[in-house]
A and B are shown apart, each in its own frame.
Chain A
Amino acid sequence: MRALKQIWRWFDEITGFSKSLGPVLTHPVPRARKSRWFYVFGSATLTAFLIQVVTGIALSSAYVTGSGQAYDSLRFINSFPIGRIVRGIHYFGASAMIILIGLHTIRVYLMGAYKYPRQMNWFTGAGLLLFTLLMAFTGQLLRWDQIGFWTAVVAAEQAGRAPLIGNWLGHFILAGNTAGGATLSRFFAAHVFFIPAMIFLFLAVHLYLVVFNGISEPPKAGRPVDPRTYRGWYHALLEREGIPFWPQAAWRDLLFGTIVVLSVFLLALVVGPPELGKPPDPTIVSASPRPDWYFMWYFALLSLIPKWSERWVIILGPLLFGLFLILVPILGGRGERSPLRRPWSIVIIASVIVMVAHYWAVGIRAPWSPRLDAPPLPVAVVGVTIGPIADGARVFYDKGCEYCHTVSGYGGIRGPDLSGAGDRMSPAQMATRIFSGAENMPSYRGELTAGELNSLLAFLASRHRVQPPKPPVLHTPE
Chain B
Amino acid sequence: MQDFFFIAFPYIALTLAVCVGLYRYFSHRFTYSSLSSQLLEKRQLFWGSVPWHYGITLILIAHLLPWIFPGAARTVLGNQTRLAVLELTGIALGLYCVFGIAALITRRLPNDSRARAVTSPMDWILLLVLAYQVLSGVGIALFERWGAAWYLSTAVPWLRSLASLRPDAATVTGLPVFIQSHFISGFVVILLFPFTRLVHVFAIPLEYLWRPYQVVIWNRDPQLPQLPVLHQIAASPRPIPLNPSEVQRRQLLTRLGVLVGGISAAIVGIPSLAFLLGLRKVPEVWRSLGAADSFQIGQTVEVSFLDSTPLPWSGVTAKTAAWLRREGPEQFVAFSINCTHLGCPVRWLPNANLFMCPCHGGVFYKDGTVASGPPPKPLATYPVRLRDGMVEILTTPLPITTV
- Chain A residues in the interface with B (C-beta under 8 A): 20, 23-24, 27-28, 66-69, 149-150, 153-154, 156-158, 160-164, 166-167, 170-172, 174-184, 211-214, 228-229, 231-232, 234-235, 238, 279-283, 285-289, 302-303, 307-308, 310-311, 368-370, 372, 398-400, 403-404, 414, 437-444, 447
| Segment at the interface with A among B198-206, B249-257, B341-349 | B341-349
Q: Are B314 and A67 in contact (CB under 8 A)?
A: yes
Asked if A66 and B360 sit within 8 Å, CB to CB, the answer is no
Asked if B372 and A442 sit within 8 Å, CB to CB, the answer is yes
Q: Which A-B residue pairs are the 5 nearest by beta carbons? A: A68-B315, A181-B311, A231-B225, A442-B371, A181-B314
A167 to B380, CA, bound (A): 14
**Do B229 and A158 touch (CB < 8 A)?**
no
Task: Name B211-230 residues within 8 Å CB distance of A.
Answer: 222-223, 225-230
Q: Are B359 and A178 in contact (CB under 8 A)?
A: no
Q: Name the one of A23, A160, A213, A440 contacting B232, with C-beta atoms under 8 angstroms.
A: A23
User: Chain A nearest CB: distance from B200 CB in Å?
Assistant: 27
Q: B360 contacts which chain A residues (CB < 8 A)? A: 302-303, 368-369
The answer to whether B280 and A154 touch across the interface, beta carbons within 8 angstroms, is no
Residues of A contacting B372 in the complex (Cβ-Cβ under 8 angstroms): 437-442
| CA–CA, A28 and B343, complex, Å | 54
Interchain pairs with CB closer than 8 A, number: 226
Q: Are A172 and B279 in contact (CB under 8 A)?
A: yes
Supposing A67-B314, A437-B372 touch, asked if A282 and B319 sit within 8 A by C-beta, the answer is yes
B277, B282, B315, B363: most-surrounded residue (chain A CB, <10 A): B315
Interface status of B313 (Cβ within 8 A of chain A) = yes
Min CB distance B350 to A, Å, is 9
B299 on the A face (CB < 8 A): no
Q: How far is the CB of A282 from chain B (nearest CB, A)?
A: 5
What are 6 A-to-B residue pairs whose CB atoms are below 8 Å? Answer: A67-B313, A157-B400, A164-B164, A283-B319, A368-B360, A447-B352
CA distance A181 to B280 in the complex (A): 12
Please, which residue of chain A has its CB at the minimum distance from the CB of B401?
A160
Contact in complex: B338, A153 (CB < 8 Å): yes
Chain B min CB distance to A395 (Å):
9
| B238 smallest CB distance to A (angstroms) | 19
CA distance A171 to B282 in the complex (A): 12
Contacts A303-B360, A368-B360 known; A280 to B316 CB distance under 8 Å? Answer: yes
Apart from the given pairs A28-B228, A167-B402, 17 other A-B contacts in the complex at a CB distance below 8 Å: A67-B311, A67-B313, A67-B317, A150-B344, A154-B359, A157-B338, A161-B403, A184-B317, A213-B228, A214-B228, A228-B222, A231-B225, A234-B225, A282-B317, A440-B373, A441-B363, A443-B371
Q: Which residues of A contact B307 (CB under 8 A)?
A: 177-178, 180
Quote the shortest CB–CB distance from B8 to chain A (angstroms): 22
Q: With A68-B317, A447-B353 as given contacts, are A177 and B282 in contact (CB-CB < 8 Å)?
A: yes
Q: Which residues of B contact A287 (CB under 8 A)?
A: 344-345, 358
Knowing A66-B315, A69-B315, A441-B372, the reply to whether A156 touches B398 (Cβ < 8 A) is yes
CB within 8 Å for A161 and B402 given contacts A288-B359, A289-B359: yes
Q: Does B289 contact A (CB under 8 A)?
A: no
Q: How far is the CA of A443 from the CA of B371 in the complex (A)?
A: 7
Which residues of chain B have a CB within 8 Å of any CB of chain A? 68, 71, 75, 163-164, 222-223, 225-230, 232-233, 277, 279-280, 282, 302, 304, 307-308, 310-321, 337-338, 341-347, 349, 351-354, 356, 358-361, 363, 365, 371-374, 376, 395-398, 400-403
- Are A285 and B337 CB-contacts (below 8 A) given A66-B313, A370-B356? yes
Could you say which of A27, A160, A176, A440 contacts B228, with CB atoms under 8 Å apart? A27
CB-based contact A212/B314 at 8 Å = no
By a CB distance below 8 angstroms, the chain A residues around B358 are 287-289, 369-370, 372
State the CA gap A154–B313 with chains docked (Å). 22
Contacts of B308 in A (CB 8 A): 177
- Distance, CA A213 to CA B403, complexed state (A): 45
Nearest neighbor of A442 in chain B, beta-carbon distance: B371
List A contacts of B398 (CB < 8 A): 153, 156, 171, 174, 177-179
Residue of B nearest to A161 (CB): B403
A398 to B71, CA, bound (A): 37
Q: Is the CB of B321 within 8 A of A166?
A: no
Give the CA-CA distance A23 to B277 in the complex, in Å: 46
Question: CA of A461 to CA of B311 in the docked complex: distance in angstroms?
Answer: 57
Query: Do A156 and B400 touch (CB < 8 A)?
Result: yes
The complex places the Cα of A311 from the Cα of B321 at a distance, in Å, of 27
Q: How far, in Å, is B134 (CB) from chain A's closest CB?
A: 29
Which residues on the A side are within 8 Å of B227 (C-beta)?
Answer: 212, 231, 235
B residues in contact with A414, CB < 8 Å: 361
- The closest CB in chain B to the CB of A228 belongs to B222
The residue in chain A whose Cβ has the minimal distance to the Cβ of B163 is: A164
In the assembled complex, how far is the CB of residue A50 from the closest CB belonging to chain B, in whole angstroms? 23
* Chain A residues positioned under 8 Å from B311 (CB to CB): 67, 180-182
Within the complex, what minimum Cβ distance (angstroms) separates B184 from chain A?
Answer: 25
Contact between A163 and B403, CB atoms less than 8 A apart: yes
Question: In whole Å, how far is B343's beta carbon from the nearest beta carbon of chain A?
Answer: 4
Q: Please, how many angstroms separate the alpha-carbon atoms of A232 and B400 in the complex?
A: 57
Nearest CB of chain B from residue A277's CB, rounded to whole Å: 13
- For A28, the closest partner residue in chain B by CB is B228
Pair A212/B230 contact, Cβ less than 8 Å: yes
* Residues of chain A within 8 A of B401, CB atoms compared: 157, 160-161
Q: How far is the CB of A307 from chain B (nearest CB, A)?
A: 5
Q: Given the complex of chains A and B, what is the CA–CA distance between A231 and B227 in angstroms? A: 8
Q: Chain B contacts of A404 at CB under 8 A?
A: 361
Cβ 8 A contact of B233, one of A20, A279, A438: A20
A179/B403 contact (C-beta < 8 A), A156-B398, A311-B71 known: no
Contact between B277 and A369 (Cβ–Cβ < 8 Å)?
Answer: no
Q: Which of B308, B356, B361 has the most CB of A within 10 A?
A: B361
Bound CA span A442–B365, Å: 8
Contact A368 B317 (CB under 8 A): no
Q: Which of B304, B312, B359 contacts A283 (CB under 8 A)?
A: B304
A438 to B349, CA, bound (A): 19
| Cα–Cα, bound, A20→B347 (Å) | 64
Q: How far is the CB of B284 from chain A (nearest CB, A)?
A: 8
